[in-house]
Amino acid sequence: MRRTPARRPTIKDIARRAGVSESAVSFALNGRPGVSEVTRARIRRVAEQLGWQPSTAARALSGEGAATVGLVLARPARTLGVESFFLQLVSGVQEVLAGRGLGLLFQVVEDLDAECAVYRRWWAERRVDGLLVVDPRADDPRPALLDRLGLPAVVVGAPDGRGVPHGAISTLWADDTGAMASIVGHLYGLGHRRITHIAGLPELAHTRRRMACLRAEAARRGLPDVRSVTTDYSDAQGAEATRRELAGGRPPTAIVYDNDVMAVAGLAVAAERGVPVPAALSIVAWDDSVLCRSTHPALTALVRDTAAFGRRAAQQLLVLLDGGPAVSVQDAVPRLSPRASTGPACRGAP
């Protein structure tokens, strides 16, 4: 037996109690001209008193937009729930959205096709006013799709900054190149010449940028034994790749991991094989988190303020929603935080 729920007040209730028409209420509450200041105040008071909030459905229906922003995460369930990146990003995003009363519609799907399908559905259902697109890829179909649908979006993470962004698609990207350069510089300074980069998914745009930069740096400094291998970001593949590297004839003296999870897994592999860190192997994690600080030794990591990144992305989206221009902005260069997992390259190494 369910009790009858409390009734939600509508604009009509306010109108009745304030002794005015519904339109007057609408004008008053939306700051439109057409009502005297005294009635406006009275109406505001009544609305407050009744705990009135505009029905998003009704608003949306009368052309005001859904007051909602969408975010889809396309990741196989297996690699989920590991990285610290997303919740932090989302938390930053929220901060900004909440200030404008915007909701965040969130969905996790298996792959890119499913993600595009979600976009189409949301568009047809008029569920969202704009989108945050994460994990951009080389040859990404999403920006074009969203542009065609007329949905404003901010591509966050790493698309090619080149080219004028089309339509209402903004772009916010991290300076992976500068970051990679600083990592290589750090390791080079410690005497490392054989460096392996255990990267993430090869189809992601930022993976490619990091790999390209590593190659360029290696060429510039004349290091033949520098390479990248790609993984799916999971601890399993991170560990596996580490094992392969350490088992080789001329193992690297330093490994750079594309996320914190793999770095921790790599550290465990080193421990298991009796390879001392950092004496025989230096480890760098791309993206800092509790993990990196909780291991022994603590991991040298690339620190960036992910929540701030999320805030900035949300702000760009607000600009678009307000009809502002699409832009392409580069985020601050992440900072390398040296900890105990990096040290001078082993002298004995050939």
Interacting residue with DNA among 2, 4, 6, 8 (CB under 7 A): 8
Q: Which is nearer to DNA, 22 or 305 (CB)?
A: 22
Contacts of 61 (CB under 8 A, 6+ apart): none
The one of a second copy, DNA, none whose footprint includes residue 94, by CB under 5 to 8 A per kind, is: a second copy
The closest alpha carbon to 287, from 187, 179, 204, 209, belongs to 179
Phi, psi of 342 (to 5 degrees): -120, 140
Give the three-state DSSP class for 130: strand
Of residues 55 and 330, the one with the C-beta less far from a second copy: 55
Distance in Å, CB of 50 to DNA, minimum: 10
Rounded CA-CA distance 302/127 in Å is: 37
335 in helix, strand or coil?
Answer: strand
Cβ closest to a second copy, residue 14 vs residue 180: 14
Q: Which of 45, 48, 58, 99 binds DNA (CB under 7 A)?
A: 58
Among 4, 49, 54, 105, binds DNA (CB under 7 A): 54
Residue 106 near which of DNA, a second copy, none (CB within 5-8 Å, type-dependent): a second copy
CB-nearer residue toward a second copy: 23 or 91: 91
User: If contact means CB under 5 to 8 A according to the sort of partner, which of DNA, a second copy, none does residue 39 touch?
Assistant: DNA
Among DNA, a second copy, none, residue 5 binds (CB under 5-8 Å by kind): a second copy
The site partner of 51 among a second copy, DNA, none (C-beta below 5 to 8 Å per kind) is: a second copy
* Residues with Cβ within 8 Å of residue 139, at least 6 apart in sequence: none
Q: What is the nearest approach in angstroms of DNA to the Cβ of residue 118?
A: 18
CA distance 17 to 21: 10
Closer of 125 and 139 to DNA (Cβ): 125
CB of 7 to a second copy, least distance (A): 9
- The b/e string for 120-145 (b: 16+ C-beta within 10 A; e otherwise) is eebbeeeebbbbbbbbbbeebebbeb
Least CB distance to a second copy at residue 61 (A): 5
Please state, in angstroms and rounded to a whole number, the distance separating the CA atoms of residues 318 and 324.
Answer: 8
> Which of the choices DNA, a second copy, none does residue 337 contact, using the CB cut-off of 5 to 8 A by kind?
none
Applying CB under 7 A, which of residues 16, 48, 49, 61 lies at the interface with DNA? Answer: 61
Contacts of 201 (CB under 8 A, 6+ apart): 207, 230, 231, 232, 233
* Residue in the block written with tokens 């008193």: 49
Fill in the per-residue mask, 9 to 48: x = in contact with DNA (CB under 7 A), - = not in contact.
-xxx------xxxxxx-xx-xx-xxxxx--x---------
Shortest Å, Cβ 306 to a second copy: 8
User: Is 206:85 a contact under the CB 8 Å cutoff?
Assistant: no
How wide is the angle at C-alpha 148 spanned by C-alphas 144 and 149, nearest 5°?
Answer: 120
CA atoms within 13 A on the CB side of 39: 20
Nearer to DNA by Cβ, of 42 and 243: the residue is 42
Q: Which residues bind DNA (CB under 7 A)?
A: 8, 10-12, 19-24, 26-27, 29-30, 32-36, 39, 52, 54-55, 57-59, 61-64
